[in-house]
Amino acid sequence: MEEKPSKVSHKSLDRHGSDEERKESVRSDIRDLWTTATLSQSELNTPLSDVCENFDAEGRSISQTRGWYGQGRCSLDEGDKASQKLRRSSSMEISQRKEDTASELKAEKSSSTSSLDIVKHIPHHAYWAEQQNRLPLPLMELMENEALEILTQALRSYRLGIGRDHFLTKELQQYIEGLKKRRSKRLYVIVKDTLGSGRPEPAQCHAGSPGPSLTPSE
Amino acid sequence: MRLKQGSLLWYLYLDKSYCLLSVRNVKALVEYFHLLDVHGKNTLNDVLFYHFLHHVTDLKKRQINLVFDMLDWSAVGEIGFEQFYVLVCILLAHQNHLEEQFMYRHSRTVFDLLDLKGDLRIGPKNFEMYRFLFNIQKQELKDLFRDFDITGDHRLNYQEFKLYTIVRINKLQKRQKKTEENAERERSLCSRKCRIK
């Protein structure tokens, strides 16, 4: 048993060319082996696009989140590669494999009810945004409202200090208008949702609207 | 100096042992800073800084200008996120009565901020200008220079300043111990009275 892992590791070192292909195949196998309990955890390794299409409603590149997930995936791959190859290669380890699959089945059964619920009720976009270490929407709203008040006062100072025609004043004015538009879009969506469903829902308005870190338009 | 209730900073908090913000709080602060960064330079100019501080605190214009001069350590007329973060930590330390811990934990940073001339010494005038940030009373400041100016040059070098922060936090811990002991004595007295009745 001890020889087999070393043989496997040598083989893996030799095959540099097919590393990426192996990683992809291992990833897909890992997803099959995962229990559905992991779906409820925040540090997921399943790509968001599989669960929630067009996730990046704030206009940010999805590749960032995938990159973040990719790091997690690689670390998981390294831990599971050896175990996977052991199961496949050795005929002597069939009993061990059976035990492993049995334990996996037990774990899967215990979370089967929760997994069905999770699969049936795919979480709201706002929930995923929070789970992806993004700031909660109420906090974003508080920040934007406060920033708007501060910047409106600053605009007055700009006009008094450097005049209305100065490019900095115009830049600030455009920025404030952009911020107000975003806020009004969010309020419109909330009103629309409440009229449609009959109850208030979290805002889901960031599709197509610029994120808070964007510089003002030139 | 008080933070405005309901502002974003009101909802942030410092870790009591290290007197720093958590990663989650820093993330919120980064977003907030970017919202105020109107011109896309990752900085706040003096006007934006003034209106920000005027909105979230009860500081006067003179005090806000002093704080800006203190934080603009490169003298470029703008404040970057690093300086903004230090300012927020100072404000929160003051708000939550953690000034002693903050000065003890970050004595080097505070010393460098107060060392306006860059000659590795803090004069009494500079310290007097900024004592409102660290809740130091006038008499306490006089005692500080009298007791800790070991070299006798009427200024504090870093070692003297560090010693002051250590002594200050020791005094605080003794005071806290005393208040806890007094509270316990009162509780035991009350319980005895109740038993007698």
- Across residues A77-81, what is the average pLDDT? 48
Domain count, chain B: 1
pLDDT-derived band at A2, boundaries 50, 70, 90: very low
What pLDDT sits at residue A138?
83
- CA gap B39, B32 in Å, rounded: 14
* Contact yes or no for B48 and A150 at CB 8 A: yes
Q: Which residue of B has its CA nearest to A146?
A: B7
Mean pLDDT per 10-residue section of chain B, whose length is 197 residues: 87 86 91 94 95 94 94 91 94 91 92 90 89 88 86 88 91 89 89 81
Above 70 in pLDDT, residue A65?
no
Q: Identify the three-state secondary structure at position B44.
A: strand
Range of the domain at B144: 8-169
**Token output for A1:** 């048993």
* Contact yes or no for A171 and B54 at CB 8 A: no
Above 80 in pLDDT, residue A61?
no
Tell me if A89 sits within 8 A of A167, measured CB to CB.
no
Please report how the helices B138-148 and B158-196 are oriented relative to each other, as an axis angle in degrees rounded to 10: 120
DSSP letter string, A75-142: HHHHHHHHHHHHHHH-STTHHHHHHHHHHHHHHHHHTHHHHHHHHHSPPPHHHHHHHTTPPPHHHHHH
Query: What's the residue count for chain A?
Result: 218
Tell me if A172 sits within 8 A of A165, measured CB to CB.
no
Nearest CB neighbour to A171, from listed B27, B39, B50? B39
Above 70 in pLDDT, residue A209?
no
Most B CBs within 10 A among A60, A143, A157, hence the mutation to make, goes to A143
CA angle B66, B63, B15 (to 5 degrees): 90
Nearest CB neighbour to B39, from listed A135, A168, A212? A168
Q: Which residues of A touch B40 (CB under 8 A)?
A: 215-216
- Across residues A25-47, what is the average pLDDT? 46
Tell me if B70 sits within 8 A of A165, measured CB to CB.
no
Q: Which residues of B touch A143 (CB under 8 A)?
A: 8, 28, 31-32, 35
What pLDDT sits at residue B195?
82
Beta bridge partners of B45: B78
What pLDDT sits at residue A203?
46
What pLDDT sits at residue A12?
43
Backbone angles phi, psi at B86, to 5 degrees: -60, -45
Above 70 in pLDDT, residue A155?
yes
What pLDDT sits at residue B191?
87
Q: Of A39, A34, A33, A30, which is closest to residue A114 (Cα–Cα)?
A: A39
The neighbour count for residue A130, using CB atoms within 10 Å, is 17
Q: Which residues of B touch A212 (CB under 8 A)?
A: 31, 34-35
More confident of the two residues B81 and A52: B81
**Token output for A9:** 């590791």
- CA gap A32, A27 in Å, rounded: 9
Domain membership flag for residue B178: no
ipTM of the complex as predicted:
0.85
pTM reported for the whole predicted model = 0.62
B142: domain CATH number is 1.10.238.10
